[in-house]
Structure 1
Amino acid sequence: MENLNALRVFVRVAEVRNFAEAGRRLGLTASAVSKAILRLERDLGVRLLNRTTRRVGLTNDGLEFFERCRQILVDVEAAEMRLAHTTAIPRGRLRIHMPVGFARRVVLPVLAELMDEHPDLLIDVELGERNVDLAEEGMDAVIRFGDLPNSGLLARRLCGVRFVACAAPAYLQRHGIPQTPDDLNAHSCIGYATRWSGHYREWRFAAEGGSGSKNVSGRLNINNVEAMFDAAVAGHGVAMLATYIVCDAVRNGALQIVLKDHIAPATPIWVVYLPGRQNTPRVRWLLETLQNIISSSPPWDNII
């Protein structure tokens, strides 16, 4: 027998004792049902059914075979249901890449707690800002900021985030408060040093019709936003940081936002993944978890 379909056809016929009715319940024609039974009898080398013009009955061999087949199908159905339940549970290794600050401040504190619900799930988190080739590196997902290139990957928007220029109140008392982006030329700015390239990340400011950018760097430039945050709190200069990083420090007075009239529009945050991966239980769990963790209107921007 090639598969279980022939057994299913036989059991249905044995239950209703009618080819046409069995076919109706199975979505088959009476002729297809009859041919399936004939093939099954040929494969087994025994006659299973007695056929007359009015009814269908089981032979002795057919009766014994029917009882065994019915139990087999019950067991198969139970196994399929168990497998469906098992495969719906996130398990195995989940690899995800995300920016350092976003991971530490937003995702990881909650993600670690939710993992307790799935003891068979193992998560490898890589922190950084580099471009990740999901297919080549075997990564399941990556969190990215900004506009996405047309890459054939799938993406789900998580939220938007504002970036603000801020400094310690003690620094601003000594050096004054900048009123325009050009005033930053006279200040100590803590730039983000882009790894490998030797360049510094541009600071975005509101401009007519959207946003504009300014090349900003200073004597202290760092390639880690958490270290930039620490340097700003310590009074070493003005830093451009995401609101989810500085919100608590702004609320407790450790940092002060400057250039509030020049804050650029929100930058979108995405979770990006390969086509088809969203159907795997662990990636589906990740997407749903991130959507639950992160509000589409996050509270971080309330400090502006």
Structure 2
Amino acid sequence: MDRLQAMEVFIRVVDTNSFTKAADTLNLPRASVTNIIQNLESYLKVRLLQRTTRRLSLTADGTAYYERCVKVLAEIEEIEGSFSTTAMTPRGKLRVDTSGPIGKMILVPALDDFHAKYPNVQLTIGLSDRRVDMIEEGVDCTIRVGALLDSNMVARHLNDFHFLTAATPGYLKRFGVPISLEDLDKHVAVKYISARTSRPMELHFVVEGEEVEVKIPGAFTVNDAEAHLAVGLKGFGLFQIARMLALPYLRTGELVEVLPQWKPATMETSLVYPQNRHQSPAMRAFINWTLELCAAHPLLAGPA
């Protein structure tokens, strides 16, 4: 039995919480993953995993073995890297998940630069507004907007996400241009469903340093940022949207910013990854590249 391979397979099974997903990410047949874990348990003479029809869970011995395997493999990689330039060259597969707008407008347009610097890294990029389960789905890191909720995750701040309130000229001609928050009583909104709460978000404004919520009727409600923009462009109501999404339409006059003196609060954009996951050279390269990309990106620079 190849004990190092067995450790790697065991770690991946635990991280993905699935024999099938572990097999997929390691490019191994599922039967091979099952046999490796069974042989490992037989060799150690302990049960590492409790298996049910619905999920896997670590035994006490499994938890202790997992923690030590992570450290052992990290030390081996560090030792090999100290003697081999090739071992430290970023290579291998990396799974990244990000929101649609960030992926399409910031990440994807810059991938030629990433590939030129790290040609041996194979990126799989998922675009979604939903909150993925990184451990269960085998995702190495995500780029997300909003505060970090899971204490088991590490968040690296990339930049701030700026929002504004907008409407079409046609809508404003029908309903009037609001010049105060009180004027919003005469308006309707196109609302966005929060991925965090699964509920429609009300309009929010920062007034003298305090965030104020204003509830108005919703003409339409959607759960995708680009669909939210598309419905707003139909003239169905006021809507609050990321500045970088609205910018092209503000320039052409298809959208008009309203109540600019009371903008929605900015939100943090962060690169997030599991706290106990060892950072391979490929993952470190992607993290550093993304930090540099987002820190200087004009779409994240704000109105100034």
Question: TM-score, structure 2 length as denominator?
Answer: 0.65
Deviation at 1:288, TM superposition (A): 1.3
Could you say which residue in structure 2 is the equivalent of 1:190?
Answer: 190
In structure 2, relative to structure 1, the CA distance for the partners of 1:247 and 1:303 (3 Å cut) is: farther
**CA distance, structure 2, for counterparts of residue 216 and residue 233 of structure 1:** 19
Could you say which residue in structure 1 is the equivalent of 2:144?
Answer: 144
Contact 2:96-2:140 at 8 Å conserved across structures: yes
Higher mean C-alpha displacement, 113-122 vs 142-151: 113-122
Provide the secondary structure at the position in 2 that maps to 1:114: helix
Deviation at 1:258, TM superposition (A): 0.5
5 Å-filtered alignment, 1:66-215, equals 84-149=84-149, 151-194=151-194, 199-215=199-215
Question: Could you report, residue by residue, the CA deviation over 1:8-37 in whole angstroms, capped at 9, with x for unpaired residues?
Answer: xxxxxxxxxxxxxxxxxxxxxxxxxxxxxx
Could you say which residue in structure 2 is the equivalent of 1:219?
Answer: 219
Larger-gyration structure (1/2): 1
RMSD between aligned residues: 2.9
Question: Could you report, residue by residue, the CA deviation over 1:39-82 in whole angstroms, capped at 9, with x for unpaired residues?
Answer: xxxxxxxxxxxxxxxxxxxxxxxxxxxxxxxxxxxxxxxxx679
Percent identity of paired positions between Structure 1 and Structure 2 = 27
Deviation at 1:121, TM superposition (A): 2.1
Provide the secondary structure at the position in 2 that maps to 1:211: strand
In structure 2, relative to structure 1, the CA distance for the partners of 1:213 and 1:296 (3 Å cut) is: farther
Could you say which residue in structure 2 is the equivalent of 1:251?
Answer: 251
Could you say which residue in structure 1 is the equivalent of 2:39?
Answer: none
Question: TM-score, structure 1 length as denominator?
Answer: 0.65
Could you say which residue in structure 1 is the equivalent of 2:295?
Answer: 295
**CA distance, structure 2, for counterparts of residue 243 and residue 288 of structure 1:** 25
**CA distance, structure 2, for counterparts of residue 138 and residue 299 of structure 1:** 30
Contact 2:203-2:240 at 8 Å conserved across structures: yes
Provide the secondary structure at the position in 2 that maps to 1:106: helix
Amino acid at match of 2:92: G
Provide the secondary structure at the position in 1 that maps to 2:84: helix
**CA distance, structure 2, for counterparts of residue 213 and residue 296 of structure 1:** 31
In structure 2, relative to structure 1, the CA distance for the partners of 1:112 and 1:231 (3 Å cut) is: farther
Provide the secondary structure at the position in 2 that maps to 1:279: coil
Confirm whether residue 260 of structure 1 aligns to residue 274 of structure 2: no
**CA distance, structure 1, for counterparts of residue 217 and residue 131 of structure 2:** 23
Provide the secondary structure at the position in 2 that maps to 1:132: coil
In structure 2, relative to structure 1, the CA distance for the partners of 1:251 and 1:276 (3 Å cut) is: same
Provide the secondary structure at the position in 2 that maps to 1:262: coil
Contact 1:193-1:199 at 8 Å conserved across structures: yes
**CA distance, structure 2, for counterparts of residue 301 and residue 162 of structure 1:** 8
Amino acid at match of 1:159: N
Provide the secondary structure at the position in 2 that maps to 1:199: coil
Provide the secondary structure at the position in 2 that maps to 1:261: coil
Contact 2:175-2:187 at 8 Å conserved across structures: yes
Stretches of structure 1 that go unaligned for 5 or more consecutive residues are: 1-79
**CA distance, structure 2, for counterparts of residue 194 and residue 87 of structure 1:** 42
Deviation at 1:192, TM superposition (A): 0.9
Deviation at 1:277, TM superposition (A): 4.3
Deviation at 1:112, TM superposition (A): 4.9
Deviation at 1:147, TM superposition (A): 2.0
**CA distance, structure 1, for counterparts of residue 152 and residue 122 of structure 2:** 27
Deviation at 1:243, TM superposition (A): 0.9
**CA distance, structure 1, for counterparts of residue 128 and residue 181 of structure 2:** 28
Contact 2:219-2:237 at 8 Å conserved across structures: no
Contact 1:106-1:244 at 8 Å conserved across structures: no
**CA distance, structure 2, for counterparts of residue 195 and residue 269 of structure 1:** 15
Contact 1:229-1:241 at 8 Å conserved across structures: yes
